[in-house]
Amino acid sequence: MSTPTYFVVSREQHEALVSAAYQHRGYQPEESAAAARMCSEASWHGIRTHNALKALHLDELFGSGTGGCVPGAEIEIRESRFPAVQSWNANRKLGQAVACEAIETCIRLADQYGSGTVAIDNAFHYLWGGGYVMDAAKRGYIA
């Protein structure tokens, strides 16, 4: 009985390939890197429904391929009467990039106010939500 052969690329190779695919579609390097990192997290944790293949397919069908997502879109931060809460218009920006930025913002707000919230409108699918939560948890936050 022979041992099956598996072909595995390093995490760095995976992220470079996925990032290049997003950049080829017009996404900026920073948003492409965020998308690639979150796709890598999904794959690392065995989430086959929200990995790079699914992300790129969704982008083709509903995102940049059809105008449902706008590469390089800028996030508009709306006025809020609460300092620990932000409301964003993502202007159809790539969801993974928006979610990564939102988690970082929530962490900064939590450090300053004890809690942080970001409400987002007009963003594309951010894929596997567990990856963002686990990232925050590894750093000592509840998300």
Q: What residue ranges do the domains of the chain occupy?
A: 11-138
d(CA 81, CA 108): 18
pLDDT tens digit sequence for 53-94: 999 999 999 999 999 999 999 999 999 999 999 999 999 999
Of 94, 129, 84, 115, whose CA–CA distance to 21 is shortest? 94
Domain 11-138 CATH class label = alpha beta
- pLDDT 10s digit of each residue in the chain, 143 long? 677 666 678 999 999 999 999 999 999 999 999 999 999 999 999 998 888 999 999 999 999 999 999 999 999 999 999 999 999 999 999 999 999 999 999 999 999 999 999 999 999 999 999 999 999 999 999 99
User: In whole angstroms, how far apart are CA 15 and each of 61, 94, 101, 118?
Assistant: 21, 16, 18, 27
What is the model's pTM?
A: 0.90
